[in-house]
């Protein structure tokens, strides 16, 4: 299964949940926000939502930034 994460193609052995994806990428879920096909995925749904082929995922966090 192929999905896009932050603009990069990722080949995964499906099926995989959002939580599973974070583990695979080595990202701690507490400090990020996730968008799946332009829809925000609530943290409470990370376990239950299973990714589908072609999904476009954005994983963002806070960085330094000003005015």
Positions that interact with another protein (CB under 8 A): 5-8, 25-27, 31-35, 38, 40, 42-43, 58-67
Question: Minimum distance from CB of 49 to another protein (Å)?
Answer: 14
CA–CA dist 31, 51 (Å, integer): 20
Question: Minimum distance from CB of 61 to another protein (Å)?
Answer: 5
Question: Minimum distance from CB of 3 to another protein (Å)?
Answer: 12
Phi, psi at 25, each rounded to 5° = -85, -10
Q: Measured between alpha carbons, how far apart are the two ends of the chain, in Å?
A: 40
- Counting Cα atoms < 13 Å in the Cβ hemisphere of 38 gives 0
The nearer residue to another protein, 34 or 51, going by C-beta atoms, is: 34
């Amino acid at each position: 299964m192929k999905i896009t994460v932050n603009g990069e193609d990722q080949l995964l052995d499906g099926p995989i949940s959002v939580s599973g994806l974070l583990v695979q990428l080595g990202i701690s879920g507490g400090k990020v926000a996730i968008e799946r096909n332009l829809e925000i995925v609530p943290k409470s749904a990370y376990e239950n939502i299973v990714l589908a082929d072609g999904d476009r995922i954005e994983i963002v966090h806070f960085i330094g930034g000003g005015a």
